[in-house]
Amino acid sequence: MSSIFDVIKKRRSIRRFQRRAIEDEKIRQLLEAAIWAPSAGNHQPWVFIAVRDPKSIEKIKVVSPGIFDIPAAIIVVCRDMRIAEKAGNPELSIFDIAMASQNMLLMAYELGLGSCPVKSFNQKAIQVLLDLPEHIVPELLITLGYPAEEPSPRERRDGVIFFEKYGHKQG
């Protein structure tokens, strides 16, 4: 098993996938990783839909300009707005689903899968295609598959880490 730091540093956004199905067990592990994310007030305002049917994937792709290849599966990460609003500050739920999504991206790497978070998709169209009720709002697609590419690490931006006060670079 890799160390968590290795997984964090080696994960890449994978946009090209092999034509190979993902084992159901791996999808279940990803979803399990998602629901163990931190959540403000433990409201867990999320809903995850795992789409594996190739025809449905093809249709999602048509309304998702951010998907460039045909993934083996897509996890549609949604906010349950009834829960998010009941919690008092619906904006906080965005952080919750972001943390759940990161759990899935890291878990995917650990399981030998490639993944990419995709925000460029049409929310209304996804709601129609997946029969989502109005209060279940799709916020992010996570495309998944066995990688068909090995992207190089992209440069990290300098000057973003300080100690004690803004501008103090030495710890």
Q: What is the DSSP letter of 145?
A: E
CB 17 within 8 A of CB 147: yes
Kindly tell me which of 65 and 133 has the beta carbon lying closer to other proteins. 65
Quote the least distance from Cβ 50 to other proteins, whole Å.
22
Kindly tell me which of 107 and 126 has the beta carbon lying closer to other proteins. 126
Handedness of CA 32, 69, 124, 51 (dihedral sign): negative
**Contact residues for other proteins, defined by CB under 8 A:** 62-66, 68, 120-122, 125
Quote the least distance from Cβ 15 to other proteins, whole Å.
9
Q: Is 122 exposed, middle or buried (0-12, 13-18, 19+ CB in 10 A)?
A: middle
Both structure tokens of 95: 């952080």
For residue 88, give the 3-state DSSP assignment. Answer: coil
Kindly tell me which of 13 and 18 has the beta carbon lying closer to other proteins. 13
Quote the least distance from Cβ 136 to other proteins, whole Å.
19
Kindly tell me which of 66 and 90 has the beta carbon lying closer to other proteins. 66
Quote the least distance from Cβ 59 to other proteins, whole Å.
8
